[in-house]
Structure 1
Amino acid sequence: MSDEGGAGEPLSDSQKREIAVWFLSNAPAGEIHYVAKDVRALLGDDAVYEAAAAEAFPEYNKAHLVPLELPDRSGDIIIATYGELDRNNYLDPRTAQVATIDHIKQTCTKLRPAADEELPSAYIEEFSNGSWRSIWTMDFNYELQFVDIKGKIQVDAHYFEEGNVQLDTNINCKDSTIMQGFSLV
């Protein structure tokens, strides 16, 4: 007999893992460890939790561009698909080094010089630099349940490539949307 209310068959380990991956992957920015603690306690099964964490943490770290301090304290590496060499190794183009990452602990465990084939080109220019600055404001009209979003993006880049190459750009953005499912507590 089927119970559509949800009190039927117990969930399989695979189903539990999928649900745990969803919760971990959708944790708010910077809060995955809090969610992980609760998910682990709710599962009560370390093997299922570890399988879910091994799947969710790398994707979460890349999606949130998590910065991790390099072991030699020379700076941070940003965990992103752009520098990913394999599941646990990421290129730091600034220092031409490869960082080995423990995704679950969110730490950089090892650093080594990048091999030539791991670099985007044989030569990394030290004089290249740039900045990205964004300012965003949100104006809430609670009475009409409407939000105005305004943003200003400034990007500056400077690079020497057989000459002086420079980019300076400013972009103004504006949008509006209707608030849904919003309540003041």
Structure 2
Amino acid sequence: MSRSQALSSFIESAPPGELGDVTKAIKNILGEDSVQSELEPAFQKHNEEQFALVKLPGSNENVIVSPYNSLGDGRYYDTENQSSFAYDHASLGGTASDVRSYAVESNHEELVKGLLKTLRSHGTEHYPKYHIGVYPTSDDSQIALLTVASKYSPANYWNGRWRSSYLYTPSSATITGTIAVDVHYYEDGNVRLLTNKTVNAKVSGSGAADVVKAIALAEKAYQEDLNKAFGGLAEGAFKSLRRQLPITRQKIEWEKISGYRLGQDIGGGRR
């Protein structure tokens, strides 16, 4: 594996909210300012896969960067703002520029508007902080629906991100997609949860509300599955990692710790 490939793998697998830290670490090790431009393809792959967010000049609202709203040559578009913009993947944190008016041409224009409104209501109900995107595919046969919800708490050594992406096919009234969860906990250790679920659902109707209802059911089922899995880990695998009683099978009386040899060792007493 070449140096470039090795560094690219670090960039592409950076945990949620930690791309900047990974990049700084690479630059500190190599001492090179050329790292950013050399690894631009890796930054682009990471940003598009993670649904990176960026604020357009003159706006306080974040928009999504993804393969679904890419126009090629480093440009992306936003359905709600009816604009396109250039995105610099090589800059730390990513920056948008050269905003232009962009009207999406689609036979599903009204459905896209309805999906934006309904998916936003779904996000407000279920996620504390989230962003959405709805984009017709290039051949106009499908509509992509994206949701990204991130929560960062570096002071407490954890960061997490929920991503869901679906393709709705109006002609067959079906949804296919993926839900991905990525959580990193790194206090006194390094634990990362990477999990995803494939979604295939039939939509019982043709309206925006019907589509989002199918999405809501799939996401609720997955969240319930995750809760059950975590409960099972707490009572199963995690429990087995800790000895419930000392090897003597007797509980330690902590108020009498000074009487134990360990207590004498800790206190610097005689052995």
TM-score, normalising length: structure 1: 0.62
Which residue pairs with 2:106 in the alignment?
A: 121
Q: How many Å separate the matches in 1 of 2:208 and 2:12? A: 39
Which residue pairs with 1:17 in the alignment?
A: 4
The superposition leaves residues 75-118 of structure 1 with CA deviations (integer Å, 9 ceiling, x where unpaired) of: 2210111001114110101122101111133121221012x6xx
Q: How many Å separate the matches in 1 of 2:59 and 2:107? A: 25
Q: What is the Cα deviation at residue 127 of structure 1?
A: 4.7
Q: Which amino acid aligns with 2:36?
A: E
For the 8 Å contact 2:75–2:84, the answer to whether it is kept is yes
Q: What is the Cα deviation at residue 54 of structure 1?
A: 0.9
Superposition pairs for residues 42-81 of structure 1, below 5 Å?
42-47=29-34, 49-73=35-59, 75-81=61-67
- Among 13, 17, 20, the residue aligned to 1:33: 20
For the 8 Å contact 1:88–1:102, the answer to whether it is kept is yes
Q: What is the Cα deviation at residue 52 of structure 1?
A: 3.7
1:121/1:16 Cα in 2 relative to 1: closer, same or farther (>3 Å)? same
Which residue pairs with 1:99 in the alignment?
A: 85
Q: How many Å separate the matches in 1 of 2:16 and 2:64? A: 14
Q: What is the Cα deviation at residue 62 of structure 1?
A: 0.9
SS in 1 for 2:46: helix
SS in 2 for 1:68: strand
For the 8 Å contact 2:85–2:100, the answer to whether it is kept is yes
Q: How many Å separate the matches in 1 of 2:53 and 2:113? A: 22
The superposition leaves residues 130-185 of structure 1 with CA deviations (integer Å, 9 ceiling, x where unpaired) of: 2244579xxxxxxxxxxxx9xxxxxxxxxxx9xx65322423232648769xx89x
**Going by fraction, where is strand more abundant, 1 or 2?**
1
Q: How many Å separate the matches in 1 of 2:7 and 2:16? A: 17
The superposition leaves residues 4-41 of structure 1 with CA deviations (integer Å, 9 ceiling, x where unpaired) of: xxxxxxxxxx8111111111111111111111011112
Structure 1 residue runs of 5 or longer lacking an equivalent are: 1-13, 137-148, 150-160
1:122/1:74 Cα in 2 relative to 1: closer, same or farther (>3 Å)? farther
1:67/1:19 Cα in 2 relative to 1: closer, same or farther (>3 Å)? same
1:166 aligns with 2:154: no
For the 8 Å contact 1:17–1:51, the answer to whether it is kept is no
1:109 aligns with 2:109: no
Q: What is the Cα deviation at residue 46 of structure 1?
A: 3.4
**What's the Cα RMSD here?**
3.8
For the 8 Å contact 1:68–1:77, the answer to whether it is kept is yes
1:58/1:71 Cα in 2 relative to 1: closer, same or farther (>3 Å)? same
The structure with more radius of gyration: 2
Structure 2 residue runs of 5 or longer lacking an equivalent are: 128-161, 163-194, 196-205, 243-271
Q: How many Å separate the matches in 2 of 1:86 and 1:18? A: 23
